[in-house]
Structure 1
Amino acid sequence: MTATVVLVHGAFADAASWSGVIADLQEHGVPVVAPPNPLRGLAADAAYIASVVNQIDGPVVLAGHSYGGAVITVAGTDEKVKGLVYVAAYALEEGESLAELQGRFPEPLLGRNLKQSTYPLEGGEPAVEFTIAQEAFPEVFAADVPREVTQVLAVAQRPLAAAAFTEAASVAAWKDTPSWALVATGDQAINPDVQRFGARRAGASVVEVEGASHAVAVSRPKEVAALIREAVQAASA
């Protein structure tokens, strides 16, 4: 039975960022789902994605981009998850947060170009969330994507709750599940060395896409899809 791919987008994006990858997977007969990632906090987001996985029949491969990598690390403990694919993503250790992992490496351009805002919480004070400053978005997120596309992406980006940066992973699914990782060497949102470190620690099979921006799923969808299909083939064997 062919494994179903669940594509988990990261911060400052939505499921449409997987469009080119989805098209490639569908062309190759791979069943695929691209749910919305709530972006409200690691435990809550992972619980949501785990609920999606739970409702799928048969084996599953989870693919996470950016912060979505942290989400699949926590959500991927279901026994039906047969593979994890990290796409320019964080692969956290149990008890580790995004801020802790990134803090061990030089800060990328993202850190200096975040715009803070707030959103309401029922029965409490407003919470903080972040987007990328629109004028910096092309360079930080999608330097190898046509300018007219990045201008749309900058407007459509979805914010990440500040709490997600400091919330520790409750588990690391890669300890018990085979993993693959794609490193975007031109990434200005997550230091490529952060991606390499997490992939190496997870024992992932790694490919590097030279010069690719953080938006590698948009700019280089066939290379991203090829790695995911490799994981699907292994999971479906």
Structure 2
Amino acid sequence: MPTPTVVLVHGAFTDASSYQPVTKGLLDSGIPVVAVAVPNRSLIGDAALVRAFVETIAGSVLLVGHSYGGAVITEAGTAPNVVALLYLAGYALAEGESIAQLQGRFPDSDLPDALIQTPFPATEHSAGGMDVSVDPSEFASVLAADVDPGVASVLAVSQRPVAAAAFAEPATTAAWRARPTWAVLCTADRGILPQVQRFGYERAGAAIREVDSSNLVMLSQPAVVVDVIREVVGALG
């Protein structure tokens, strides 16, 4: 089987550049990779855009989702050329379940108290609403405690907000039911608690690797993420 293209889907509060060390590691390994830009406007809309992009790729795809991006790949991963899923500190939702509902099964993490909501106006093309970002003064401690402080400080002031409505939007499908699934569980994550990750991963029947990492594992331990991706690619081959 030809090596699948790895499609990296970022989460809330970051963009595709958050995968930079992992992207480079995969390129250096000769593994085809693309890090896509996600609008972070709505779960279903974001997933539709990711799926449409995935379907333009010739050949098979390993779809990787970080944090909110995990919810996105749960929905988008039913694209016919997706052969496997990999969650990184992500939300593995079930059909009819929203991020808020999954989170609601467990105690709050440090994230809710660190969030800032900012209104964005309606336009002729979209309704207005509330954008959600992380207080820059809290960003490192909640999401990036083990990331280089200089990198974390830049991330804190260059966030890609997510529309608040995305957290309440239920998934319409769960791609993990029909795709082999792997997951990285970040045991030091203060944004998405480890028990939230574990619940979703075990329900999905994922092969789980536990890592002592903050939420931004692709920046704190990129070599581990690249190693897991190589493992998945090897298993698919």
The TM-score by the shorter chain falls in which range?
over 0.9
Measured in 1, the distance between the counterparts of 2:15 and 2:44 equals: 19
Label 1:175 to 1:133 Cα distance change in 2 as closer, same or farther (>3 A): same
Give distance in 2, aligned partners of 1:224 and 1:27: 14
1:36 matched to 2:37 = yes
Alignment partner, residue 208 of structure 1:
210
Q: Which residue is equivalent to 1:5?
A: 6
| Residue 23 to residue 125, structure 1, CA distance change in 2 (3 Å) | closer
Q: What is aligned with 1:194? A: 196
Structure 1: unaligned runs, 5 residues or longer: none
The answer (yes or no) to whether the contact 1:83–1:232 under 8 Å persists in 2 is no
Partner of 2:22: 21
Q: Residue by residue, what CA displacement relative to the aligned partner does 1:189-224 show, whole Å, maximum 9, x if unpaired?
A: 1011111111100000000002x0011110100101
- 1:96 counterpart = 2:88: no
The residue that corresponds to 1:226 in the other structure is: 227
Letter in 1 for 2:44: A
Partner residue, 1:151: 153
Cα offset, 1:82, TM superposition: 0.4
Question: What amino acid is aligned across from residue 30 of structure 1 in structure 2?
Answer: I
User: Which runs of no fewer than 5 residues in structure 2 stay unpaired?
Assistant: none
Deviation of 1:26 (Å): 1.0
Distance 2:202 2:105 in 1: 15
What is the alpha-carbon distance in structure 2 between the residues aligned to residue 156 and residue 74 of structure 1? 27
Deviation track 1:104-151 (CA, whole Å, cap 9, x = no partner) reads 111110011100001122247631110000110110110001222111
Contact 1:86 1:181 in 2 (8 A): yes
- The equivalent residue for 2:81 is 80
Aligned length: 235
Whether 1:128 and 2:130 are equivalent positions in the alignment is yes
Q: Which residue of 1 aligns with 2:187?
A: 185
Give % identity.
50
1:101 CA displacement: 0.2
Distance 1:125 1:22 in 2: 34
What secondary structure, in the 3-state scheme, does the structure 2 residue paired with 1:156 have?
A: coil
* Distance change in 2, residues 1:168/1:125 (3 Å): closer
TM-score between the two structures when normalised by the length of structure 2: 0.97
Code of the residue aligned with 1:65 in structure 2: it is H
Q: How many Å separate the matches in 1 of 2:122 and 2:83?
A: 36
Residues of 2 paired with 1:128 and 1:155: CA distance?
Answer: 18
- Alpha carbons of structure 1 residues 76 and 125: separation in structure 2 relative to 1, 3 Å: closer
Letter in 1 for 2:144: A
- C-alpha distance in 1, partners of 2:7/2:121? 30
The structural deviation recorded for 1:225 is: 1.2
Q: Quote the Cα distance in structure 2 between the aligned partners of 1:159 and 1:215.
A: 16
Aligned to 2:61: 60
CA distance in 1, matches of 2:5, 2:71: 20
Aligned counterparts of 2:136 and 2:156: Cα–Cα separation in 1: 5
Q: Deviations over 1:81-116 (max 9, x none)?
A: 000000000000000000000111111100111000
TM-score in terms of structure 1 length:
0.97
